[in-house]
Amino acid sequence: MLNSMTGYGEAAGELDGVSYAIEIKAVNNRYLKTIIKLPEGTGFLEEGIDKELRRQLSRGTVNCVLRLKGIAANTLFEIDEAGLRSIVTQLNDISASAGVTGSIDLAGLLELPGIVQPVLPDEEQGAKIREFVLNLTRKAVEKLKEMRQAEGRFLEADLAKHCAAMQAELESIRQRSDSVVHEYVKRLRKRVDELLAEAKLKLDEQTLAREVAILADRSDISEEITRLDAHLQQFELICRTDGQAGRRLDFLSQEMLREANTVASKGADSQIARSVVDIKCLIERLKEQIQNVE
């Protein structure tokens, strides 16, 4: 069963009067990239969340956002009162000595580095919050994976449809390849007979047989057909059995395109060429869809 790389999951809960909400969105990416956004003062949760995401997901750009509600301001930040008093005293002294009068904007002073700092929980409380948030993360990831699986079923059906169309075109090429050499022999003999009739000469059958043998060797596509058929069978097997198959399917699609190009160059037949064009179009559709597979 295939999984899509796109999906969405969320989970929420309350701990000690504070509401925590985790939201996870995933989109396509060749590799796994995690982007974690946390509120001020909760940076200690980032490592655990990142490990949990990487443990359960293998590909995609994963955006994870944690939001807090119902939390008092004094539990998030603390003001360095001693430092603030020291700054105010120094400013008053400077104003007095310079003969400058005016009021001090405390709000502006709060923006100075180090005056307002996030409050970090103690070790016990931090462990409690970490476990709670990681549990929410697991629930959100499960919902994300459920959505990925649901979309993956549609991807699998679409890929199977394209593979079936390729099998039909490949069978047409296989049947046509058996008659290509025979038709070439007929055309060659007819053309040579026409030319030799004017010169009143006779064709050496051994020479004709040699030319036919050379063409048969150059236009033999049986190996390419067999390999392309094997790639298709492997492709379909992976779709049915491997939930994280994006890279393998991408590799197989490239190999199928390579075999199709070889068939086109060696086929020496217009009908085969048309079938190869259809196969290459189908492979391109496969490659586009594979970009959505985990």
Q: What is the pLDDT of residues 4-28, one digit of tens each?
A: 999 999 999 988 778 899 999 999 9
For residue 203, what are its two tokens? Answer: 């064709």
Residue 277's pLDDT band (boundaries 50, 70, 90)? very high
Nearest to 9 by CA among 151, 149, 141, 153: 141
- By the 10 Å C-beta count (0-12 exposed, 13-18 middle, 19+ buried), 138 is classed as middle
Are 245 and 293 in contact by the 8 Å Cβ rule? The answer is yes
Q: Is the pTM of this model over 0.75?
A: no
Mean per-residue pLDDT, 265-287? 87
Distance between CA atoms of residues 3 and 150, nearest Å:
8
Paired strand residues for 2:
none
- Domain segments of the chain as ranges: 81-109, 152-290
Print burial letters for 229-249: b (CB count within 10 Å at least 16), e (below 16): bebbeebbebbeebeebbeeb
Count CA atoms within 13 Å of residue 266 on its CB side. 20
Q: What is the pLDDT of residue 252?
A: 92
Percentage of the chain lying above the pLDDT 90 cut: 36
- What values do phi and psi take at 226, rounded to 5? -65, -45
Give the per-residue pLDDT at 262: 87
- pLDDT above 60 (res 254): yes
State pLDDT tens for residues 42-92. 888 999 999 999 999 988 999 999 998 865 444 556 676 777 778 778 877
pLDDT band at 255 (very low <50, low <70, confident <90, very high): very high
Of the candidate ranges 78-92, 170-184, 191-205, 213-227, the one whose mean pLDDT is the lowest: 191-205
